[in-house]
A and B are shown apart, each in its own frame.
Chain A
Amino acid sequence: MTQPSDAQVTSSSAEAAVTYVFAVCRSTRATSALDLTGVTGMPGGEAVRLLPSGLLTAVVQTVPAADFTDEVWQGRLADREEIERYARAHHAVVSAVATHGPVVPLPLATLYHDDDRARSRLAEEADRFHTALKRVAHHAEWGVKVYRPATPDPAAAFEEPAPETDGGRARGAGLAYLNRKRGAQALREKRREQALDVAESVDAELRGLAAASRRLRTHGAALSGDQRVHVLNATYLVANDRAHEVGLLVRALGERTGAQIELSGPWVPYSFVGEV
């Protein structure tokens, strides 16, 4: 997570305030007409407002500096519920802005010392913001996760009770054990290759439809408690006029490959705005 923040608030008193930036969009008439009364923004902050600066407009909020120091964020990051609350608040603002036109969402907890600093940042990075806005205009992000269906442990198929005679040392038991393990290993490898093939072909087909794509790390069972094997975690930037094709393609791919494919979206294109 990049944090181009310059407000490493250390000396400020408790009442000091900093400028939290949610997103950047173009200074259009639609932007200036944005109604932000319904969005609350960060807990404890003032009203979410627009901060125009030339051709770009930032969506910002004045928040108490003491609530957004590095130490406080470290504590928050360790608390899943708390971080979810802040992430949802951030996302709600970004989504509200995105309904009115292209938007570059900034990472969670992007802070500036004050409005002037935020404005000068917009001016410095104007080119990059404009490039990103051009890329994501009329596009949405779609997330695709492919899972290999949960299958019984391959070893179990080969498991047979070890001969008990002579304390499990029956003649041939060693060879039988090795053969069982060999079979299980071969089966496991075959399955893994098949799963990777499925992942590659799903990715290739979706890339054909997308303007850009990104492969993300597949996640293990630890976090989600999900026992299925996750073989593809990717995200695609798709033009809005082709959005309906995504669902159709995913369904067709699911039927063809037998894999479980989960589609999510449309999302604000968080993954395709570059390191701004």
Chain B
Amino acid sequence: MTGPRVDLDSEQMGRDLVALVLTVVELLRQLMERQAIRRVEQGDLSDEQVEEIGTTLMLLDQRMKELCEQHGVRPEDLNLDLGPLGTLLPRD
């Protein structure tokens, strides 16, 4: 079954492309964040390393929020419905 009628509006397409790129970036950011949390939980990082990783991820998070604001993309727009697999990013 096809979705709602496709409207070939170049401005909309531009926005959709930005949202898609940001979604992929957000996915990578979340994956890194989870990996970092896992490593912190394993306890094989020094305090300095934890601090550095945490700061980096925090700045990335802030930067993502700024980018979303600049492009008028809401955080909940950053997702893809993968059909039976659910959504690309956790919805909650």
Contacts and interface: CB of A to CB of B under 8 A. Distances in A.
Interface of A: 1, 74, 77-80, 151, 153-154, 162, 168-169, 171-178, 181-182, 185, 188, 191-192, 217, 220-222, 229
Interface of B: 1-5, 33-34, 36-37, 40-41, 47, 50-59, 61-62, 81, 83-84, 86-87, 90-92
B55 A153 contact: no
A172 B51 contact: yes
A174 B33 contact: no
B53 A154 contact: no
Contacts of B50: 174-175, 178
A229 B55 contact: no
Contacts, number: 72
Contacts of B59: 168
A185 B2 contact: no
Nearest to A75: B5
B91 A79 contact: no
B53 A185 contact: no
A162 B62 contact: yes
A175 B2 contact: no
B36 to A, nearest CB: 7
Contact of B36 (A78, A178, A192, A220): A178
18 contacts: A74-B2, A78-B2, A78-B5, A79-B5, A154-B92, A162-B62, A169-B55, A173-B58, A174-B51, A174-B52, A175-B47, A178-B37, A178-B50, A178-B57, A182-B41, A191-B92, A217-B83, A217-B84
Contacts of A178: 36-37, 40, 50, 53-54, 57
Contacts of B4: 78, 80
B58 A177 contact: yes
A169 B40 CA distance: 19
A177 B37 contact: no
